[in-house]
């Protein structure tokens, strides 16, 4: 008999309770929280990261669970500004869950397929920063992203453009000849503070953040996605970082026993 997701999580939780000697990297319930884009970014929204290193926020967004025909009216009521990025509500790691649509025109929104999340698009120079977190370790890489949208594109009434898995499919932007104001990595102290706070709020140790810098600013960043256990194979030096992380868990467990 095939178990449902909820039943499988209960099996894991029962096993954890009956085998306290086993190290659980991340609890299933906390992982499940990141599979829903309605709640995924709430931990960032609840934070107050606005110090000398920069401002971190999330885009305005709206959850649509059904009835695509009502989307234009709901967008009006919510006061969202076009263009809008449409993302599937469920973020389960499948290729489909990473598909994006960019909507330029209000009434074309009713051609989308709920359940989904609509996020206000923020121009960011076509580059995003993938921030990999492995325990206390943080590694940042640049990836090409959706291009900026200007008044010309909006005036064309272009409707909806659909994109595949953008940041994964795109080539690395680390070696590209980019405008320094676009390419400069977010300040390290800001990322360390953000990662530490999210590890505590999410109860997770293995995840990554997709972060963009608002174009024309030096210090206003947006977290637009959080992914659990991302493709660490694309992270530089992942073998050493992951090995150190696993060794630190074992050493921590050994110290507890010795104490």
CB of 182 closer than 8 Å to CB of 215: yes
121 is in an annotated binding site: yes
CB of 103 closer than 8 Å to CB of 84: yes
48 is in an annotated binding site: no
| Residue that wins the pLDDT comparison between 207 and 7 | 207
> Please, how many CA atoms are within 13 Å of residue 226, restricted to the half-sphere of its CB?
30
- The answer, as to whether pTM is greater than 0.85, is yes
* pLDDT tens for each residue of 197-230: 999 999 999 999 999 999 999 999 999 999 999 8
For residue 96, the model assigns a pLDDT of 82
pLDDT beyond 60 at 170: no
32 is in an annotated binding site: no
225 is in an annotated binding site: yes
240 is in an annotated binding site: no
pLDDT beyond 90 at 21: no
pLDDT beyond 90 at 64: yes
Give 57's pLDDT tier (boundaries 50, 70, 90): very high
When pLDDT is averaged across residues 57-84 and rounded to a whole number, the result is 95
When pLDDT is averaged across residues 230-236 and rounded to a whole number, the result is 87
Q: Which domains does the chain have, with CATH numbers?
A: 34-258 (3.30.470.20)
Cα gap 155→145, rounded to integer Å: 22
Tokens of 93: 């790691």
Cα gap 221→204, rounded to integer Å: 22
Q: Report the percent of the chain where pLDDT is more than 90.
A: 55
pLDDT beyond 90 at 255: no
Cα gap 222→55, rounded to integer Å: 8
119 is in an annotated binding site: yes
Give 169's pLDDT tier (boundaries 50, 70, 90): very low
Give 166's pLDDT tier (boundaries 50, 70, 90): low
125 is in an annotated binding site: yes
For residue 254, the model assigns a pLDDT of 45
Mean pLDDT, all residues of the chain: 86
For residue 168, the model assigns a pLDDT of 46
**H helices present in the chain, as ranges:** 5-18, 28-33, 42-45, 71-78, 151-155, 166-169, 180-183, 188-202, 238-258
129 is in an annotated binding site: yes
For residue 234, the model assigns a pLDDT of 84
State the sign of the Cα–Cα–Cα–Cα dihedral 33, 8, 99, 230: positive
124 is in an annotated binding site: yes
């Amino acid at each position: 008999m095939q178990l449902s997701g909820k039943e499988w999580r209960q099996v894991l939780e029962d096993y954890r309770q009956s085998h306290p000697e086993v190290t659980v990297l991340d609890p299933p319930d906390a992982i499940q929280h990141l599979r829903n884009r309605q709640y995924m970014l709430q931990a960032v929204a609840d934070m107050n990261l606005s110090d000398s290193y920069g401002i971190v926020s999330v885009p305005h967004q709206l959850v649509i669970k059904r009835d695509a025909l009502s989307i234009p009216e709901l967008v009006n009521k919510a006061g969202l500004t076009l263009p809008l990025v449409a993302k599937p509500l469920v973020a389960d790691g499948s290729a489909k869950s990473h598909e994006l649509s960019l909507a330029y025109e209000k009434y074309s929104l009713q051609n989308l397929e709920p359940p989904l999340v609509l996020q206000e698009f923020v121009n960011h120079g076509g580059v995003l920063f993938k921030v990999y977190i492995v325990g206390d370790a943080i590694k940042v890489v640049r990836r090409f992203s959706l291009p900026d949208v200007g008044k010309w594109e909006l005036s064309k009434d272009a409707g909806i453009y659909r994109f595949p898995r953008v940041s994964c499919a795109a080539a690395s932007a680390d070696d590209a000849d980019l405008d320094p104001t676009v390419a400069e990595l977010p300040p390290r102290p800001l990322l360390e503070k953000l990662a530490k706070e999210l590890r505590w709020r999410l109860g997770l140790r293995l995840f990554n953040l997709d972060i963009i810098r608002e174009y024309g600013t030096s210090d206003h960043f947006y977290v637009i996605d959080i992914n659990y256990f991302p493709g660490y194979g694309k992270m530089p030096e992942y073998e050493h970082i992951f090995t150190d992380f696993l060794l630190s868990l074992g050493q921590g467990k050994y110290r507890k026993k010795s104490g």
